[in-house]
A = this chain, B = another copy of it.
Amino acid sequence: MRQGMAEVVFGKGKTPAQIAAIASSIARHSPNVLITRATTEAYEAVRAEISDAIFHTASGAITIAREVRETSQGTVLVISAGTSDIPVAEEAWVTAQIMGSRIDHVYDVGVAGLHRILSERERLQSARVVIVVAGMEGALPSVVGGLVPAPVIAVPTSIGYGASFGGLAALLGMLNSCSPNVTVVNIDNGFGAGFVAALINRGDTPGK
């Protein structure tokens, strides 16, 4: 991945042995590596070769972070709605962090309980970028969008049942948000949200 400040390996569909081999090979020349959607077995295989690899159990992300440099004074804030949305939220902040962003997160704030989110208003308003992860009706990005002056990246999750249609309801809700500062990524795409948030947070024209 040319654009990032870390090499990324998509772990899904690869065996622990394959992941360990790729990780070892990359880690030789690249100080920072992110492996997404790995299993505990894959992590064991990686750690046998790279002792400082860290496992993020909710999302299955493995990070090797040796030379992460903070590229900005700003913070990427990750907000998630329900307990089941945490894996996607974790993938988002792990990604933003290894790409050089200072990160923060607020979990379990739903639109049916506004007091939780209102009590965090100050933290929300000081973020440079906000990632909002939500399933079901996907209403949280609109509410957060109205509370913050920053860009909001909305991540629909496949959490829900019946007429949630695997995340479609949340996706459509986010695309139709009445808050104009909201953009959207694919269902369950925590990695993409964290990646873009880090790019936004860098605060300079990266191509220069």
A145 at the interface (CB under 8 A from B): yes
The reply to whether the CB of A110 lies closer than 8 angstroms to some CB of chain B is: yes
Chain B residues with CB below 8 A from A29, complex form: none
Complex CA–CA separation, A177 to B110 (angstroms): 11
**Shortest Cβ gap from A79 to chain B (Å):** 15
Taking a contact as CB atoms under 8 Å apart, the answer to whether B163 and A186 are in contact is yes
Q: Are B178 and A199 in touch, CB under 8 angstroms?
A: no
Q: A73-B205, A172-B172 are in contact. Are A3 and B149 (CB under 8 A)?
A: yes
Contact count band on A:
35 or more
A3 to chain B, nearest CB (A): 5
Q: Contact: A175 with B179, CB < 8 Å?
A: no
| Copies, count | 8
Residues from chain B with Cβ under 8 Å of A200 in the complex: 151, 200
Residue numbers in B under 8 Å from A150 (CB-CB):
199, 205-207
Interface residues of A, dominant DSSP: loop
For residue A75, which residues in chain B have a CB less than 8 angstroms away from its CB? 205
Contacts of A73 in B (CB 8 A): 205
Binds B, one of A39-47, A56-64, A121-129: A121-129
Interface string of A2-13 (1 = CB under 8 A from B): 111000100001
> Which residue of B172, B180, B189 is within 8 Å of A195 (Cβ)?
B180
B162:A167 contact, CB within 8 angstroms? yes
A15 interface contact, C-beta 8 A = no
Q: Shortest beta-carbon distance, A36 to chain B, in Å?
A: 11
Contact between chains at B126 and A208 (CB < 8 Å):
yes
Q: 25 A-B contacts, Cβ less than 8 Å apart?
A: A3-B149, A13-B84, A73-B205, A81-B178, A111-B146, A114-B114, A114-B118, A128-B205, A136-B176, A136-B177, A136-B178, A137-B142, A137-B174, A137-B176, A139-B139, A149-B199, A156-B162, A161-B186, A162-B166, A163-B176, A168-B172, A172-B172, A176-B186, A182-B192, A184-B184
